[in-house]
Amino acid sequence: MARNALNIEIPEKLDGLGALEPYQGVWTKLQKGWMSEQTVPPAIKARMPHTSKMCDSLEEAILKCNPQDGMTVSFHHHLRSGDDILVQAMTILANMGIKDIILASSSLTSAHEPILPFIEQGIISQIYSSGIRGAIGEACARGIMKKPFVIHSHGGRVRSVQTGKIKIDLAIIAASAADEEGNATGSHGPSAFGSIGYAMIDAWYAKQVVVVTDNLVDYPCVPPSIRQNYVDYVVEVDSIGDAKKIASGTTRITKAPLDLRIAKLASEAIIHSGLFKNGISFQVGAGGASLAVAKFVREAMKKHEIVGSFLLGGVTSYGVNMLNEGLFRAIFDVQSFDAAVSQSIMNNPYHIEIGAALYANPFNCGCMINKLDIVVLGALEVDVNFNVNVITGSEGDVRGASGGHSDTAAGANLTIVVCPSFRGRLPIIKKKVNNVVTPGDSVDIVVTERGICVNPKNIELEQKLKKAGLNIKKIQDLEIEVDKITGQPDPIEHTDKVVGVIEYRDGTIIDTIKQIKE
Amino acid sequence: MPIKIVILPEKNMQPVHKAQAGTFESSDIMILIEPLDNDGDNHIELSSSVGKQFKDQINRDITELLQKYEITGARIIAKDKGALSPTIKARVETAVLRSLDKQQGTLK
């Protein structure tokens, strides 16, 4: 057992993962300017001119890819909770008798719960994902899989694919429009879902690539977000999922008073941070208080006549509106959250679709998060050292997503975590979090309804915010305050068995997830 | 000076009839109290969305309140959705007073 830089015990190796490298610090691995791990070459294929890639069914396409026991199958999660393709494909593989499958989906949503029996039966024996929720998350925390699951960040996933940690045998890429050669996009069609950013690395590196669409268009499919030179087979199906759950309408700003108060405080911190000026770049999450910050920032930008450079990340129609109003000059979009966004990607050249590598992979000459001024992130729990948990719930179950949390926190000049100080009776500001996804060294301030906590490394920022009259509290004092209100929860009971690991974006292990005692 | 009305507990009281207080809303607790035939021990049946972390503390709050009013021979059904300690005590107290006919309630 070694201890990582957060003093968390990390096993030297685990069956099914091999040797583990303990987390050493936010920048330690990047400082030398090169990645120490070797990359593996992407598959190089050949194809005779004027031959057809079209298959009659998903089953035929999968058969042509010669599926084997122990193979790694990858998916993207841009169809969110409307996705039907992952379950269809895994069912086909299960019916073919394939087992020990390593499932590498960029994330898993509630739509994927039908694969739970495959996990229980050992058809799926390992999962790589940025997020796991619901019944699958509970099962993962109980330790029903043979091999430990891996939670990675969006940027970290790219590195894992390039180093062969995730060695994709078959990538199945759902698209809302595609042509017969495999040029594909999510930006139009009845099941449009916007950016297809997470699938780009899969298309490049996978041994075999199948594009599945419910909207086969005349050649060429424009824009070719996924390009034909990476695609082996194309399948047209009736439906890639439930269009209403894939993307509908526009995202609304929360009306919950608590979230709005937290968002207002966060926006005041932004305005007085010294970063609120022309050329500002900005990213917010899609939910609750985080998105609501955008509302207050938008008002302030108009009032102070500020024009920002770019919006990044998961993009909502709210961000698109800010682009259209001229508040930002561009959007870089790795993942879209509602229907209105797809049209903007399609029609506005300043709304730019990007892959996960350009978004957040630390190992290249500069991903977009390196250029980010401000990011506003949520949290399930925050500890007195500013470490953030976004993956395990209060009962130890896996119920969240790492996503771009640790990536953007590392990149942004000002990383703001917004959360209530407690939810129901559960304290959110705690002495110790169940699991660390984002290290406190990359978090600058935590904003709660009871005040703002500034990471002690930011002495200047704290002075600026105090001078502006904001309610600044020591995070230790806030923890005590919250503890008096909620009482101290009984600790979660774990066994010693490690059922999953949490990878930091550089590939080191920042924490392990232990089996829940039942 | 505001006048404070204090209802003094009597000794070894048993609920006269069923009573309830609280809601099923998040951050609240629903308390149902009813007399038991046994004339002695209190039975607490607790279910809570935060049971794993707080069941002992919730049980302690309920028991303390029952002791304060010296309630005996009662069944308490508590369905908790993450209520804070003062909420729990207030809901139990109200249910107790209603069951003793000392306060108007919804189940009478």
The count of CB pairs under 8 A between chains A and B is 37
Range scoring the smallest mean pLDDT among A33-42, A203-212, A302-311, A411-420: A33-42
For residue B9, the model assigns a pLDDT of 56
For chain B, the residue count is 108
CA distance A493 to chain B (A): 10
Residue from B43, B41, B38 nearest B75 by CA: B43
Cis peptide before A220 (omega within 30 of 0): yes
B41-77: pLDDT as tens digits:
899 999 999 999 999 999 999 999 999 999 999 999 9
For residue A76, the model assigns a pLDDT of 98
The two beta strands, A124-129 and A101-105, are: parallel
For residue A94, the model assigns a pLDDT of 98
H/E segment holding residue A139: helix A134-142
Show the beta-strand stretches assigned E in chain B: 19-21, 29-35, 43-48, 74-80
| Residue B107 pLDDT greater than 60, yes or no | no
A357-382: pLDDT as tens digits:
999 999 999 999 999 999 999 999 99
Q: Spell out which residues of chain B touch residue A490, defining contact as CB-CB under 8 Å.
A: 52-56
Interior/surface letters A431-447, b for 16+ CB within 10 angstroms, e for the rest: eebbbbbbbbbbbbbbb
User: Contact B53/A485, CB-based, under 8 Å?
Assistant: no
For residue A210, the model assigns a pLDDT of 98
Per-residue confidence band for B5, with pLDDT thresholds at 50, 70 and 90:
low
User: Contact B53/A423, CB-based, under 8 Å?
Assistant: no
For chain A, the residue count is 518
| Residue A155 pLDDT greater than 60, yes or no | yes
Q: Spell out which residues of chain A touch residue B87, defining contact as CB-CB under 8 Å.
A: none
User: Contact A487/B82, CB-based, under 8 Å?
Assistant: no
- Residue that wins the pLDDT comparison between A337 and A168: A168
Strand partners, A151: A129, A502
For residue A212, the model assigns a pLDDT of 98
Section B13-36 average pLDDT: 93
Residues 20-59, chain B: which have Cβ within 8 Å of A?
A: 26-27, 49-50, 52-57
Q: What average pLDDT is seen over chain A?
A: 96
Which of B54, B79, B80, B84 best tests the A interface by mutation, with the highest count of A CBs <10 A? B54
CB A46 within 8 A of CB A174: no
Domain ranges, ordered by start, for chain B: 19-99
CA distance B15 to chain A (A): 29
Interior/surface letters A344-375, b for 16+ CB within 10 angstroms, e for the rest: bbbeeeebebbbbbbbbbbbeeebbbeebbbb
Quickly count helices (H) and strands (E) in chain A: 15, 31
CA A490 vs CA A105, A427, B56: distances in Å: 34, 12, 9
Q: Spell out which residues of chain A touch residue B50, defining contact as CB-CB under 8 Å.
A: 394, 424-426, 489
Section A452-478 average pLDDT: 97
- C-alpha radius of gyration, chain B, whole number: 13
How many C-beta neighbours within 10 Å does residue A224 have?
16
Residues A497, A499, A505, A507: is their CA dihedral positive or negative?
Answer: positive
A400-443: pLDDT as tens digits:
999 999 999 999 999 999 999 999 999 999 999 999 999 999 99
Residue from A272, A253, A259 nearest A421 by CA: A259
User: Cα A437 to the chain's mean position, in Å?
Assistant: 12
For residue A366, the model assigns a pLDDT of 95
The closest CB to that of B27, out of A394, A395, A424, belongs to A424
Which of B29, B53, B57, B59 best tests the A interface by mutation, with the highest count of A CBs <10 A? B53
B56 Rama class: left (phi>0) / alpha (psi -120 to 50) / beta = alpha
User: Contact A425/B82, CB-based, under 8 Å?
Assistant: yes
In whole angstroms, what is the distance from residue A400 CA to residue A379 CA? 10
Q: For A455-501, where are the alpha helices, taking DSSP H only? A: 459-467, 475-486
In whole angstroms, what is the distance from residue A302 CA to residue B47 CA? 50
Q: Spell out which residues of chain B touch residue A486, defining contact as CB-CB under 8 Å.
A: 84
Query: Top-level CATH class of B19-99?
Result: alpha beta
Cis peptide before A427 (omega within 30 of 0): no
In whole angstroms, what is the distance from residue A317 CA to residue A311 CA? 12
What is the SS3 string spanning A10-49?
Answer: ECCEECCCEECCECCCCCCCCCCCCCCCCCCCCCCCCCCC
Q: What percent of chain B lies above the pLDDT cut of 70? A: 84
Per-residue confidence band for B1, with pLDDT thresholds at 50, 70 and 90:
low
CA distance B54 to chain A (A): 6
CA distance A491 to chain B (A): 7
Q: Directed axis angle between helix A288-303 and helix A257-271, to 10°?
A: 50
Q: Spell out which residues of chain A touch residue B57, defining contact as CB-CB under 8 Å.
A: 487
User: Contact B82/A485, CB-based, under 8 Å?
Assistant: no
CA distance A117 to chain B (A): 26
Nearest CA in chain B to A493: B52
Section A83-106 average pLDDT: 98
The closest CB to that of B85, out of A394, A487, A490, belongs to A487
- C-alpha radius of gyration, chain A, whole number: 22
Residue type at position A383: D
In whole angstroms, what is the distance from residue A107 CA to residue A111 CA? 11
pTM metric for this prediction: 0.94
H/E segment holding residue A318: helix A317-324
Q: Is B102 exposed, middle or buried (0-12, 13-18, 19+ CB in 10 A)?
A: middle
Residue type at position A302: K
Q: What is the ipTM of this complex?
A: 0.84
Q: What percent of chain A lies above the pLDDT cut of 90? A: 93
Which residues have CB under 8 Å from A325's CB, separation 6+? A298, A302
Please indicate if any CB of chain A lies within 8 Å of the CB of B81.
Answer: yes
Please indicate if any CB of chain A lies within 8 Å of the CB of B86.
Answer: no
A301-340: pLDDT as tens digits:
999 999 999 999 999 999 999 999 999 999 999 999 988 8
For residue B103, the model assigns a pLDDT of 81
Residue ranges of chain A whose CB lies within 8 Å of a chain B CB: 394-395, 423-426, 485-487, 489-490, 492
